[in-house]
């Protein structure tokens, strides 16, 4: 899940915010259908698999944004990681601890999630829980993507901050080598499996999009990008139910890179509501499972006891409205203030006399 760098994005990349909003909502709708199907068993619920590809779009965008940041301004490893941490940690840790508390009190609301303290420690440290195959995901299910994000940020801090890799091309090559080693040796260790998974190539795709756009975009006519955009959208419609399995970096990551590249060139309109939704996309991503589970496992059964059946269209609309409102509120009342306070404290400490 890409976490935005507000000053950079708001300056020129409003299209990225639109795509972040789209990606977060795509994952949200995918999880609604997947959760409904798991609750109903062998029902007629159709899962739009392509919605899960919103994660792949997030990873590509993350690679693009990090490449832009380190190319346009010098970074130090310490400052880079601090900015990432204050942006990610407050909301994620809060949501993780909330899920853990629910698992302690009413585990029936959470499906397979249980109050495992070792799993909690792994989750808070952004480390995959590779000990028990049955509980390999973080306490907050969507946290697996943040484990990859943190892994990528650590590599960016190392290569850009310590090795002066301003283009992140060396980092991209390193990711390719790591994935190749994983495919070649197929390690049994679950931690190695996680970090050597081909999905990490999607960060390199985003880095490639940044440098291609920086060097070539002005030389190509718009119809190239319009054609690519139309083809990607058409493919999403045709293959909406296709599950790529272990090949998602190829079947979802590569198209996500083309979608980002074409969108940056042809989406010229400006929409303040979409921008705000993009700004709130991290909160939307973190909160969406709370909304889904609350609606499907608490509200809907309660309504059924009163013989009130909610049409699926109304249910989707209600969950969407609730999630968007909650995400925007959390973004402006929790995310931004928390980042501002932590950043101010760091600045104050830096100016304290030694």
Amino acid 260: pLDDT: 95
Using 50, 70 and 90 to split pLDDT, how confident is the model at 49?
Answer: confident
**Dihedral pair phi/psi, residue 61, rounded to 5°:** -60, -40
Across all residues in the chain, what is the average pLDDT?
Answer: 86
The size of the chain, in residues, is 354
pLDDT, tens only, 187-226 = 888 888 999 999 999 999 999 999 998 886 557 788 788 8
Angle between helices 14-40 and 281-294 (to 10 degrees): 20
Amino acid 131: pLDDT: 57
Whole-number percent of the chain with pLDDT over 70: 88
**Which residues have a Cβ under 8 Å from the Cβ of 159 and sit 6 or more positions away?**
165, 168, 170, 171, 174
**Long-range residue pairs from 156-160, CB within 8 A, at least 24 positions apart, any chain:** 156/66, 156/70, 156/80, 157/75, 157/77, 157/80, 157/81, 158/77, 160/70, 160/75, 160/77, 160/80
pLDDT of 352 above 90:
no
pLDDT of 354 above 60:
no
**Pairwise pLDDT comparison (25 vs 224), residue with the higher score:** 25
- Comparing 33-42, 272-281, 301-310, 343-352, the range with the smallest average pLDDT is 343-352
Mean pLDDT of the 155-180 span: 93
Q: Which two tokens stand for residue 143?
A: 């946290």
Q: Are 228 and 180 in contact (CB under 8 A)?
A: no
Amino acid 5: pLDDT: 42
Q: Which two tokens stand for residue 115?
A: 């109050």
Amino acid 181: pLDDT: 95
Residue 42: count of CB within 10 angstroms of its CB: 6
- CA gap 108, 101 in Å, rounded: 12
């Amino acid at each position: 899940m890409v976490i935005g760098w507000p000053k950079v994005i708001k300056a020129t990349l409003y299209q990225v915010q639109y795509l972040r909003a789209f990606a977060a909502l795509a994952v949200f709708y995918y999880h609604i259908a997947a959760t409904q199907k798991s609750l109903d068993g062998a029902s007629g619920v159709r899962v739009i698999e392509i919605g899960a590809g919103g994660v792949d779009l997030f990873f590509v965008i993350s690679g693009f944004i990090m490449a832009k940041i380190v190319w346009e301004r010098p970074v130090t490893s310490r400052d880079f990681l601090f900015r990432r941490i204050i942006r990610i940690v407050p909301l994620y840790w809060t949501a993780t601890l909330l899920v853990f508390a629910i698992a302690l009190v009413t585990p029936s609301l959470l499906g397979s999630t249980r109050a495992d303290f070792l799993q909690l420690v792994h989750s808070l440290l952004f480390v995959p829980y590779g000990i028990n195959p049955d509980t390999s995901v973080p306490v907050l299910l969507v946290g697996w993507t943040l484990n990859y994000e943190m892994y990528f940020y650590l590599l960016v801090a190392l290569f850009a901050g310590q090795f002066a890799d301003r283009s992140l091309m060396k980092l991209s090559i390193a990711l390719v080598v790591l994935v190749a080693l994983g495919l070649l040796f197929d390690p049994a260790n679950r931690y190695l499996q996680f970090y050597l998974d081909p999905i990490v190539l999607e960060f390199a795709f985003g880095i490639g999009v940044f440098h291609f756009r920086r060097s070539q975009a002005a030389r190509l006519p718009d119809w190239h990008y319009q054609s690519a955009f139309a083809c990607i959208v058409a493919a999403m419609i045709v293959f909406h139910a296709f599950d790529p399995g272990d090949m998602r970096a190829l079947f979802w990551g590569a198209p996500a890179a083309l979608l980002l590249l074409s969108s940056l060139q042809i989406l010229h309109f400006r929409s303040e509501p979409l921008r705000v939704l993009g700004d709130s996309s991290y909160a939307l991503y973190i909160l969406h499972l709370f909304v889904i589970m609350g609606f499907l496992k608490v509200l809907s059964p309660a309504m059924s006891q009163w013989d009130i059946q909610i049409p699926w269209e109304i249910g989707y609309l209600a969950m969407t409205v609730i999630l968007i409102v909650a995400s925007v509120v959390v973004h402006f009342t929790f995310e931004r203030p928390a980042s501002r306070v932590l950043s101010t404290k760091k600045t104050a400490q830096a100016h304290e006399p030694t």
